[in-house]
């Protein structure tokens, strides 16, 4: 193989970095793993060009996303959501990243942006959903339905990062043949800057990366073997970069995005990753708090509290010696924040129970963290398989608090399965959980009732305090509450706010 000036320069830079590259080997008939990785770097534009990438913005993306955790029944096949207007920005120089996309799933549409950014060198998360105020949280509070579970993956799994790491860390030994995405390809083992190990695969003709296999820890799926399949390489500012990225996790489709454009070191990337001036005070709060997501506790009735978050709320029930939380929603950061707020307001009272109302991932994203605080997770039989997966699959890369405490042999909460109805009571206080069946949103669906305060909690079925019309879901809720003969006065929403029960009755009566 004749070496061009860029290839020559790449070899020199990799060699002078103290890497002892066996320069000749990549040109022989049995190249070493490192030689193949170095060839890939050359094919992508050379080490100098790749190291010169500070920001990369992939744009005009469209494709699909799976594993949203939004099925009606736990046993239903996973659906496929459509992604459009996908923009993915990374700042390799400063460790910042953003996902921006429109998602459409079974009639649900949302334009979302999740940004992992920094202030004074400290990481912070911004969630920007069309029609809602900007929310500020710790990085662990970022929740995404884009091509990834969180924008942080964009940094660790980027092709430039992986290619450069492989070119300096793959062994100086003959490359192995391994299966990848239905083909047998030459493979190299690489150590990523994060310390993780990746198996990197090479295209025989173009010498570019065909993709890589790594261990991803998803917030809900836990540890999964993930394949990143790269294709549609195109020239971008002196580089050659993949414009189609297909991700499979745990042997199943996860996301696939075809981008129409890419830009390198474009000043516009800074705007995507910037913190709006109006968010500065919230950013300072989020950084100071550590694991953080905005939450506020207000009293609904004696011993019943509404935990209002910016998107997914919970209800807290106070017993003489402990607390119960209905719905550990959205993210681990939200559960950490709720636990701190409860310790402040009810010092010494542990969160003994956390009830799951349904298996949807946006309403169960905080269960692992509440289990790490020792809460028993109350799960209806119909949600058991999904919740066992979430709570019992190892989460090691990196380890979350539940994984860490389990490994250390510390006491953590576990699942308690009930069927149809469960009552938690102490003294004169009680919390009743009922599984209602046949709701179009999810089946079964657990609703929670506190008889002392005549308070009902439900999520996703009716949005109290918002003036929202009644959907077929809400009609089913009202029928179910009447069938159960619950004397509800106040309706607390997993979305929306708190309202009189008459609001639901009126909305249902007003349906055309």
Q: Which of 60, 67, 107 is nearest to 440 (CA)?
A: 107
Comparing CB distances to Zn ion, the nearer of 360 and 476 is: 360
The least distance separating Zn ion from the CB of residue 416, rounded to whole angstroms, comes to 22
CA–CA distance, 388 with 414 (Å, rounded to integer):
9
Comparing CB distances to Zn ion, the nearer of 213 and 460 is: 460
The least distance separating Zn ion from the CB of residue 358, rounded to whole angstroms, comes to 5
Comparing CB distances to Zn ion, the nearer of 360 and 406 is: 360
Comparing CB distances to Zn ion, the nearer of 360 and 422 is: 360
The least distance separating Zn ion from the CB of residue 167, rounded to whole angstroms, comes to 45
Q: How many alpha carbons lie under 13 Å from residue 386 in its C-beta half-sphere? A: 29
Comparing CB distances to Zn ion, the nearer of 39 and 443 is: 443
The piece of 52-60, 82-90, 261-269, 456-464 that touches Zn ion (CB under 5 A) is 456-464
Site for Zn ion in 311-370 (CB under 5 A): 360
* Binding-residue total with Zn ion (CB under 5 A): 2
The least distance separating Zn ion from the CB of residue 312, rounded to whole angstroms, comes to 10
The piece of 207-215, 289-297, 330-338, 452-460 that touches Zn ion (CB under 5 A) is 452-460
CA–CA distance, 504 with 166 (Å, rounded to integer):
59
Comparing CB distances to Zn ion, the nearer of 1 and 109 is: 109
Q: Which of 81, 99, 224 is nearest to 153 (CA)?
A: 99
Comparing CB distances to Zn ion, the nearer of 54 and 66 is: 66
Q: By CB under 5 A, tell whether 291 contacts Zn ion.
A: no
Q: By CB under 5 A, tell whether 460 contacts Zn ion.
A: yes
Q: In Å, what is the CA distance from 252 to each residue of 79, 183, 211, 256, 495?
A: 12, 17, 16, 12, 31
Comparing CB distances to Zn ion, the nearer of 361 and 373 is: 361
Q: Do the beta carbons of residue 198 and residue 210 sit within 8 Å?
A: no
The least distance separating Zn ion from the CB of residue 462, rounded to whole angstroms, comes to 12
Comparing CB distances to Zn ion, the nearer of 376 and 439 is: 439
Q: Do the beta carbons of residue 431 and residue 448 sit within 8 Å?
A: yes
The piece of 259-267, 282-290, 458-466, 486-494 that touches Zn ion (CB under 5 A) is 458-466
The piece of 42-50, 84-92, 425-433, 459-467 that touches Zn ion (CB under 5 A) is 459-467
Binding mask 470-499 for Zn ion (x = CB under 5 A): ------------------------------
105-108: long-range contacts, CB 8 A cutoff, minimum separation 24: 105/68, 105/70, 105/79, 105/81, 105/145, 106/70, 106/79, 106/81, 108/70
Comparing CB distances to Zn ion, the nearer of 264 and 461 is: 461
CA–CA distance, 403 with 199 (Å, rounded to integer):
25
The piece of 115-123, 129-137, 375-383, 457-465 that touches Zn ion (CB under 5 A) is 457-465
| DSSP string across 341-389 | HHHHHSTT--EEEEE-S---GGGTTTHHHHHHTT-EEEEEGGGHHHHHH
Beta pairing class for 421-426 and 498-500: unpaired
The least distance separating Zn ion from the CB of residue 64, rounded to whole angstroms, comes to 20
CA–CA distance, 260 with 84 (Å, rounded to integer):
11
Comparing CB distances to Zn ion, the nearer of 4 and 385 is: 385
The least distance separating Zn ion from the CB of residue 234, rounded to whole angstroms, comes to 39
CA–CA distance, 63 with 305 (Å, rounded to integer):
41
478: preceding bond cis by omega (within 30 degrees): no
Q: By CB under 5 A, tell whether 386 contacts Zn ion.
A: no
The least distance separating Zn ion from the CB of residue 441, rounded to whole angstroms, comes to 6
Taking each helix axis from N to C end, the angle separating 501-509 and 472-483, rounded to the nearest 10 degrees, works out to 120
Closest CB to Zn ion: residue number: 360
CA–CA distance, 130 with 111 (Å, rounded to integer):
6
Q: How many Å separate Cα 208 from the centre of its chain? A: 29
Phi, psi for 322 (deg, rounded to 5): -155, 175
Helix H or strand E encompassing 41:
helix 33-43
CA–CA distance, 111 with 101 (Å, rounded to integer):
6
The least distance separating Zn ion from the CB of residue 35, rounded to whole angstroms, comes to 51
Q: Which of 166, 170, 206 is nearest to 32 (CA)?
A: 170
Q: How many Å separate Cα 110 from the centre of its chain? A: 16
Collapse the DSSP code of 507 into the 3-class scheme (helix H, G, I; strand E, B; otherwise coil) and give the result: helix
Comparing CB distances to Zn ion, the nearer of 69 and 453 is: 69
The least distance separating Zn ion from the CB of residue 190, rounded to whole angstroms, comes to 39
The least distance separating Zn ion from the CB of residue 360, rounded to whole angstroms, comes to 4
Q: Do the beta carbons of residue 431 and residue 326 sit within 8 Å?
A: yes
The least distance separating Zn ion from the CB of residue 313, rounded to whole angstroms, comes to 13
- Binding residues vs Zn ion (CB under 5 A): 360, 460
């Amino acid at each position: 193989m004749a070496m061009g000036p860029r290839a020559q320069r790449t070899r020199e830079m990799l060699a002078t970095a103290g890497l002892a590259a066996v320069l000749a080997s990549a040109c022989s008939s049995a190249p070493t793993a490192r030689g193949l990785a170095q060839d890939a770097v050359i094919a992508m534009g050379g080490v100098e060009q790749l190291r010169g990438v500070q920001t990369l913005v992939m744009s005009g993306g469209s494709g699909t996303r799976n594993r949203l955790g939004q099925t009606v029944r736990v046993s239903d096949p996973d659906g496929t959501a459509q992604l459009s207007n996908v923009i993915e920005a990374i700042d390799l120089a400063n460790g910042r990243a953003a996902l921006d996309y429109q998602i459409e799933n079974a009639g649900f549409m949302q334009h979302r942006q999740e940004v992992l950014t920094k202030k004074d060198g400290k990481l912070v998360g911004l969630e920007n959903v069309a029609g809602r105020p900007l929310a500020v949280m710790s990085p662990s509070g970022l929740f995404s339905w884009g091509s990834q579970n969180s924008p942080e993956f964009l940094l660790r799994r980027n092709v430039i990062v992986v290619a450069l790491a492989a070119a300096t860390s793959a062994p100086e030994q003959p490359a192995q043949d391994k299966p990848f995405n239905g083909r047998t390809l030459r493979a190299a083992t690489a150590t990523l800057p994060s310390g993780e190990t990746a198996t990197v695969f090479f295209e025989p003709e173009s010498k570019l990366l065909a993709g890589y296999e790594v261990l991803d820890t998803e917030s809900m799926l836990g540890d999964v073997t993930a394949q990143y399949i790269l294709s549609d390489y195109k020239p971008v500012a002196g580089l050659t970069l993949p414009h189609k990225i297909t991700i499979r996790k745990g042997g199943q489709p996860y996301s696939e995005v075809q981008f129409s454009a890419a830009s390198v070191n474009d000043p516009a990337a800074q705007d995507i990753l910037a913190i709006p001036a109006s968010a500065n005070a919230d950013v300072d709060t989020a950084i100071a708090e550590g694991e953080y997501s905005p939450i506020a506790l207000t009293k609904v009735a004696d011993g019943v509290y509404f935990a209002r978050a910016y998107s997914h709320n919970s209800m807290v029930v106070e017993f003489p010696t402990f607390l119960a939380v209905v719905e550990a929603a959205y993210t681990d950061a939200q559960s950490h924040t709720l636990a701190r707020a409860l310790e402040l307001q009810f010092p010494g009272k542990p969160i003994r129970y956390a009830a799951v109302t349904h298996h949807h991932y946006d309403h169960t994203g905080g269960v692992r963290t509440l289990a790490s605080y020792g809460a028993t997770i109350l799960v209806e039989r119909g949600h058991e398989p999904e919740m066992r997966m979430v709570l019992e699959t190892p989460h090691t890369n990196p380890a979350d608090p539940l994984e860490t405490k389990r490994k250390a042999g510390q006491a953590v909460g576990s699942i308690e399965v009930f069927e149809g109805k469960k009552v938690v009571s102490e003294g004169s206080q009680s919390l009743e959980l009922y599984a209602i069946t046949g709701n179009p949103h999810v089946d079964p669906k657990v609703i929670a009732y506190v008889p002392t305060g005549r308070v009902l909690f439900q999520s996703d079925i009716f949005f109290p305090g918002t003036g929202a019309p009644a959907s077929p879901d809400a009609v089913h809720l009202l029928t179910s509450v009447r069938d159960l003969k619950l004397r509800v006065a106040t309706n607390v929403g997993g979305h929306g706010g708190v309202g009189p029960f008459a609001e639901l009755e009126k909305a249902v009566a007003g349906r055309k």
